[in-house]
Chain A
Amino acid sequence: MSGGIEIPVRVVEIEQATATVKRFRFAPVSGEPLPPFSSGAHVVVLMPAADRTIRNAYSLIDRAEDGSSYRIGVLRTPQSRGGSAFMHEQVTVGTELKITMPVNLFPLVHAGRKHLLIAGGIGITPIFAMAEELRRTDASYEIHYAMRNTSSGAFVDELRARHGDKLKLYRDDFQETLAVDAILPNQPLGAHLYVCGPAGMIEAILEGGREAGWPEENLHSERFQAPPTGEPFSVRLAKAGIACEVRGDQSLLEALEQAGVDAPFLCRGGACGQCEAAVIEADGELVHNDHYLTEADRASGAKIMLCVSRLKGRELVLDL
């Protein structure tokens, strides 16, 4: 009952899209078509590193019509905990990996009258798929794509070819800035906004939306985050009778997996709620890094999300 079905795939194409972004094309090892997915969905890629399996979530860019491949885009992050470095340095054409079934935590609202897609940097990957679905279904939409400079726009050419002047670019080196107050007011009733990018950008866009009078339920964001690092601590599972150490560069979920525990997860980014665990005892302070638990949940000290949250202290006892 963990991440569910895993699909073995082979890397059949790698594109150096920009200095820091590579695009990977995965084909199914079995030859059976990869399942269709809804735009905004991600898969978790399982990477067999020397000492452990790294699991990172990546948005799906597209699927070949016959199901013969998926594409993902991976940014090489300077503070990589191993995942993006592994994808950039270890993976070559022919490498076999496993991926999970697609999961969508950033879906289009199909009942929406108009869709504003806003992407910053590598946040373009789910937006790319969403734009394609909106184009195909003849929906009303705009794409606003912000990037550091022209050469870091990993998807500009493909997007321009498909979406023409529905695509607006904001390039720092051209002194073009994505002005929230220019695009959010005066949108029609029933419009929905979707933003994916760096945390600061997401906050600014959502805040701009609220100021422009948008209802909270029409503002959508995807904030995948890598599990933050911290101090090491011990964890004990009361039911399973297992105890282990969580290293500073490791998440609680990763430590449990390494100890052989089949813990449930979907997004590994603090968004879906699947890995919620009950806290029996915490000798220290719970550091909640998720977007799932309510303020009341946090105040109770009774719950923790295994994928991104941790203990600042000595030992954590969970009801698992």
Chain B
Amino acid sequence: MTIQFKQETFRDDFTFSNSPEAIRRFPFPFDKDEYMYAVNIEQHMPGPVKSPFEFPIDIDEHYVSEMRDRALVLKEDPLRCQSLPHMITAEWDLLELLMESMAKNYPEHFTLTRDGDRWHWINRPLGIDQAFTFGDVSTLPQPPMEYVTRQCQGDFALLDQRLDNLWMDAGMITTQADWSLDFDIGMNFMEWHAPVPLAHDMGIFERALKFLLNLQQGRPVRRLNWTMTVNPRLDTSPENYHKWGADRTTVTPENVGDKVHLRVELQALWRLPRSNAIVFSIRAYMIKMNELVTIPKWGRRLHRVLRDLKPELADYKGLTRYRADTVAYLAKHDDGAPTSPGFFPDPE
């Protein structure tokens, strides 16, 4: 399967859009007409063909342009990629996981050849051909985590496990929904989740942490999370809030369909073999309102979810200012018909 990679931007003129195929495979996160937190974790098993869950690491039509955007972010702010010294083994584990998965599932685009610790990596879409020694940092142009995540869609945090907690001790975070690696680095699981409303009182983080501490090698898990973003901007970081915060005031009834995006994060967690660390991947997918309503079930359902969302959650997700305009737009695509259970579009 050869992917046609699009040339598009996630800043300035914002030329990002989804092809009809990309719309149909969008990981719509609501399986019913309302939303509340849940520990919605499931095994990260291969999903339906062509869905974003088909392979452990999903590469799509936005790959080349997303990697170009990541390089721009890093050039302006190198602290988006940080790693504490004790995380080097976890970095190599991550490099192996990503290269193995990409080469196995997208052989037209990526090739990995291993001969003991002598490895050879070919990335055709980005024009990279690199021979290196696994475990020897001096044989790569960047440290292993930075090297491989400059070539893989999604943000990645490496979590060290010690003292019955998880510690965010390394990461490549350039496409985030308003959180900062530079702020969170070195924090534990409870500390970096402290700003989330409501969920603490529900005991969600205690249960999630207990579950993750026992995460097993070879049995990754995933969950979906969501927010909304004005303009298709991948880098909605606190560091750059001055660049995108004001975008929220630019939504009008006329431009809602093009400007407002549902942003879904496919989050997956793997136990890494050599380091016993966990990698937490956060892959962002964006879809414009006028793309989303081409799937009638999703238009109806998102209208009902947003209309009935608790105010605390709307505030936390930063969509209070443009929620009314978005609900009004979606109301025009909701005829009140019942929706079928589950995430996927109805057959046509």
Contacts and interface: CB of A to CB of B under 8 A. Distances in A.
Interface of A: 4-5, 35-38, 40-41, 65-66, 101-104, 107, 109-111, 137, 217, 266, 272-274
Nearest to B274: A36
Given A36-B274, A101-B219, A102-B273, 8 more contacts: A4-B216, A35-B217, A35-B273, A101-B217, A103-B217, A109-B163, A110-B86, A111-B160
B219 A266 contact: no
Contact of A110 (B89, B116, B216): B89
B273 A110 contact: no
Contact of B214 (A35, A37, A273): A273
A60 to B, nearest CB: 11
Contacts of B273: 35-38, 102
Contacts of A111: 84, 86, 160, 162, 169
Contact of B161 (A4, A36, A107): A107
A266 B217 contact: no
Given A35-B217, A103-B216, A109 B276 contact: no
A181 B162 CA distance: 26
B48 interface: no
A35 B276 CA distance: 12
B181 to A, nearest CB: 18
B210 interface: yes
A102 B275 CA distance: 12
The 6 lowest CB-CB distance pairs between A and B, nearest first, are: A38-B276, A110-B86, A36-B273, A104-B276, A111-B86, A107-B276
A276 to B, nearest CB: 10
A274 B210 CA distance: 9
Interface residues of B, number: 20
Nearest to A66: B116
A113 B160 CA distance: 16
A37 B274 contact: yes
B216 A266 contact: yes
A5 B214 contact: no
Interface in B192-249: 210, 214, 216-219
Interface of B: 84, 86-87, 89, 116, 160-163, 169, 210, 214, 216-219, 273-276
Contact of B217 (A102, A109, A110, A273): A102
Contacts of A35: 217-218, 273
B162 A109 contact: yes
Of B162, B273, B276, most buried by chain A (CB within 10 Å of CB) is B276
Contacts, number: 55
Contacts of B160: 110-111
A22 B103 CA distance: 41
A268 to B, nearest CB: 13
27 contacts: A4-B216, A4-B218, A5-B218, A35-B273, A37-B274, A38-B273, A38-B275, A66-B116, A101-B216, A101-B217, A102-B217, A102-B273, A103-B216, A103-B217, A107-B276, A110-B86, A110-B160, A110-B162, A110-B275, A111-B86, A111-B160, A111-B162, A217-B163, A266-B214, A272-B214, A273-B214, A274-B214
Contacts of A102: 217, 273
A65 B162 CA distance: 26
B-side binding surface: helix, strand, loop or mixed? Answer: loop
Of A37, A110, A137, most buried by chain B (CB within 10 Å of CB) is A110
A137 B216 CA distance: 24
A106 to B, nearest CB: 10
A289 B255 CA distance: 64
Contacts of A41: 276
B334 to A, nearest CB: 38
Contacts of B161: 107
Contacts of A36: 273-274
Contacts of B275: 38, 110
Contacts of A266: 214, 216
A102 B219 CA distance: 12
A41 B161 CA distance: 13
A270 to B, nearest CB: 14
Nearest to A1: B43
Contacts of B163: 109, 217
Contacts of B214: 266, 272-274
Nearest to A38: B276
A114 B86 CA distance: 13
B219 A4 contact: yes
A111 B161 CA distance: 10
A102 B272 CA distance: 11
A107 B162 contact: yes
Contacts of B116: 65-66
B274 A38 contact: yes
A4 B274 CA distance: 19
A38 B162 CA distance: 13
Contacts of B87: 110
A115 to B, nearest CB: 12
A133 to B, nearest CB: 9
Contacts of B218: 4-5, 35, 101
B87 to A, nearest CB: 8
A273 B212 CA distance: 12
Nearest to A35: B273
Contacts of B210: 273
